Structure formats: structure tokens, C-alpha cells
Amino acid sequence: MADLRTAPLSHLLVRLALPALAVTGLNGLNVLVDMIYAGHLIGTDAVAALGVVQTLNHLIFSLEALVAAGAAATLSVAIGRGDRTTEHATYSAVVLLSAIIGLVLVAGGALLAPPALHLLGLHGRAFDMGWAYYRVYLAGSAAVIYAYCTGALLQARGELTRMALNQAAGLLTTAVVTPVLMGLAGFGLPGAAFGTMAGAIVAAVLNTASLRRMEAVALVRPTRAIVGRILSIGQSGMLMQLSYFAQGFLVFWTLARIGTERDLAFMGVTYRLVLFGVYLATGFSRGLQPLVGISYGAGDGRRVARAFLVFNAGALAVLIGPWLVAIARPAAVIGVLAPGLSISALDAVHFRTYLSVLLVAPFLLTSLTLYQAIDLPWQVTAFGLVRLVGFFVPAVLLLPRWFGLSGIYDALAGMDFALTILVGLNGLVTVIPRLRNLRGQIVCLAPESIIRARSTI
């Protein structure tokens, strides 16, 4: 790990961000592949069902973030100060929390998911497909969470190439299994969920084997302090995902009242494309995490700040090309995913409006990582609440009344641009002084607080 403290940032950008980008890019393609298979093999109602179900999936994503973000931040700082006991306890906590959360999701989903799907506009055949898909996804949620979180542990150790290879093997499994089950075997839309489960199991096995080779797997009893720290840090990431769930819920609920099933399908496709761009940006934020965590743990505030700027620039450089293509040819891009879904001139405006958020996504995602790494997760929590309650809820309740469907897309874009301004101003006031005040101090993380001890380094 020493080279993470000393290697040039341009070198680390390639070494850390590109493997993570490969993983998150493949994840994004996997999301699009599901939609493509649904559109080509089943039809528009399947596209609508996937779009709505993706909103509910953010509940699972939020719990993934709760464990993964907290565990990665805890582990990377522990590595920075050479604490092997905390390393092993962190892995054990991941195993325990993944199992508990999986059981809760199965029980809660069986009761709450069907009425939620109805409320979000799925009825008849589209509802049957959506609920069949989601039952399978819930049943395998523990495997999905464990696979994601063990990948985060590899990430926290700076082993992003290994993480990428393991995840790529899982995603390849998904890409092969999904069309076979969905089309040839006649499973329909649930075949996509079975494919996702198969990929998660493969990735989980490979991640565990990789951690074992690094002597990072030790099933010890995790202390309350470790579990509490993971949940304390991770709740900020969880809240951001919950805000996406609430955002999607309000969007599809509004569409169910003022739109048609075709509008649900169009939003589902557009959302998947935005999600693909977010996945690409997430690759850079995941690559940044071990670098800023270890640098902060070692007291190097200047390196933390420089890494943040370098990884932001890299993310924008990668995103701008695909973004320009999508903005220039919306009909062609939509046609690839859902060939039966034609779009109007107004749809093209909606499409471009929503995709504009990808210009600020890298900054917001890397800021989330930075705040978690420097032990300011409560500020991420505050940003999530402001984004949802302060910006989005008023906008999505008011703008569609005045502008119809256009108001929904205006609300989606407006809240992230407003949040970008807020996060930027807060960084000038809070983050920069915090990093300047480190001055070579090693950061020791006690359960109750942050204790700074003078380093001899």
C-alpha cells in the first residue's frame, strides 16, 4: 500500500480508476443489456416493468451502500495505520450484515412490493412480469449485497484490478445466462433476475478467494464498535440511494397519474441511460476511495485534495464522448434499447434535459467519497436530505402541474445542478480547512470520535 502514498497521481488514476471503471462500466452495460433483451425479446410492457422495478431496486442498492461504503472507509483507514485486527473484524461484519439484510428484504418485500408496483403504474401483464422479476431478485439479495461489499473490500485495499476481473467474470456469467433463461428457456423477465443472481454468486466466490489469498478473511466476532462505525459511515451512502428510491417513486407515481404506459417505458429507458453514465462516473469515485482514505489516515491533506481534482478531470474526460453522442442522436440511442418505442420532438427535449445531469455526476459522486473518507459522513446525509426534501419534492409536486411531463424532467435535472452548487460552496468552507489542518498527523479512528496523534513520519 506504500505506493498509494507516494506514486504519481496520474499513474494511480490509471491503476485505480480504470479497473473500477471497467467494473462499473460493465455493470452499467449489464443494466442496459437487461433492457435490450426485454425490449427485443418481450416488448414495451416488459421495458416499462423493468423501469419501475429499478426504482424498487434502489432499496437494495441503499443497503449495499450502507455496508460497502462504511466497510471500505473503515478498512482503508485501518490499512493506513496498520491495524490488522480491524481489517479482520470488518470482513466479519460484512458477512453478518449481508445475511441479516438479505433476510429482512425477503420478508419485507413479500408484503410491500406488490402494492408499490401497483401504485407506480404497473397493471395487468406488466405487473405480473415486474413482480415475478422482483421476487427472484429479493430471494438472491443477500448474495448480491455480499458480492458488492467484498468487492468494496478489495477496492479499499487498492486491489482494483482483481476486483475488476472478479466482477467481469460475474457480469459475463449474467450476460450469458440472462438471454438463455429469458428467451430460450421461456422464463421471461424473471430470467434477467436469475442471470443477475448467477453473476453475483460467481463474483462473491471469486472475491472471497482473493481476500483469502491476502489473508484478509478471518471470521472473528465483530465488535459493536466496528459494526457501529460501518453503519455510521455507510448511512450517508445509504441515504443517497434512498433519495434515489424516493425520487424514482415520486417520478413513476406522477407518471402513473398524468402519463401512459408508453411514458413509463420511455422514462425507464432514459433512466437506464442516465444510470449507465452514473456507473461510469462511479468507477472514478471507487478508484478514488482507497487513495483518499489511506492518504487521510496518514495525515496527507494536500494529496487528498490533489487526488480529488485529478480523478474528477479523468471522469469528465471519459463521460463527455458518450454524452455528446447521446445528446446528438436521442432517437437512435433509444431505438437500440427499445426498438418498438418511437419518440417525438418533445421526447428528445426531455431526453436531453435529463442527460444533462451527467455533466455534474462526477463531482457529486467523488464528493460523496471524499466526505466519507475524511470522516464527514453526516454532511453527505445532509446533502441527501436537502437534495430530496429541499429540491426535488417541491419541484416534482409543482412543476408537472404547470408544465405537464416536461416538469418531471426539469425537476430531475434542476435538483442535481442545485446540489452541485451547494456541495461546492460547502467544500470551500468545510473540506479545504479540514485538509489544511492535518499537517502530517496520523488519523486514528476510535469508535467514539476521531483522535489525532502527532506522527513521526
Per-residue pLDDT of the chain (457 residues; tens, 9 = 90+): 446 666 777 777 777 777 777 777 777 777 777 777 777 777 777 777 877 887 788 788 888 888 888 888 778 777 766 667 777 788 888 888 888 888 988 888 888 888 888 888 787 888 888 888 888 888 888 898 999 888 888 877 777 778 888 888 888 888 888 888 886 767 878 888 888 889 899 999 999 888 888 776 667 677 777 788 788 777 766 776 777 788 888 888 888 788 777 888 888 888 888 888 888 888 888 778 777 777 777 777 777 788 888 888 888 888 898 899 989 988 888 887 777 777 888 888 999 999 999 999 889 888 888 887 777 767 777 887 788 788 888 888 888 888 888 888 988 888 889 889 988 888 888 878 777 776 655 454 443 333 332 222 2
Interhelix angle 330-337/345-355, nearest 10 degrees: 90
Cell numbers for 252: 413513476
Q: What is d(CA 417, CA 429) in angstroms, rounded to the nearest whole number? A: 19
**Residue 352 CB neighbours (<10 A):** 16
**Residue 146 CB neighbours (<10 A):** 25
Q: What is d(CA 233, CA 435) in angstroms, rounded to the nearest whole number? A: 19
Q: What is d(CA 83, CA 80) in angstroms, rounded to the nearest whole number? A: 8
Sequence-separated contacts (24+) of 452-456 with Cβ below 8 Å: 452/299, 455/298, 455/299
Q: Which of 143, 157, 263, 258 is nearest to 206 (CA)?
A: 143
pLDDT at 438: 66
pLDDT at 128: 85
pLDDT at 111: 83
Chain centre distance of CA 58: 9
pLDDT at 354: 92
Q: What is d(CA 6, CA 15) in angstroms, rounded to the nearest whole number? A: 14
Q: Which residues have C-beta within 8 Å of that of residue 300, sequence separation ≥ 6?
A: 5, 438, 440
Q: What is d(CA 347, CA 456) in angstroms, rounded to the nearest whole number? A: 61
- β-bridge mates for residue 453, sequence order: 442
Q: Which residues have C-beta within 8 Å of that of residue 385, sequence separation ≥ 6?
A: 239, 243
Is the full-model pTM beyond 0.85? no
pLDDT at 353: 93
Cell numbers for 94: 460484512
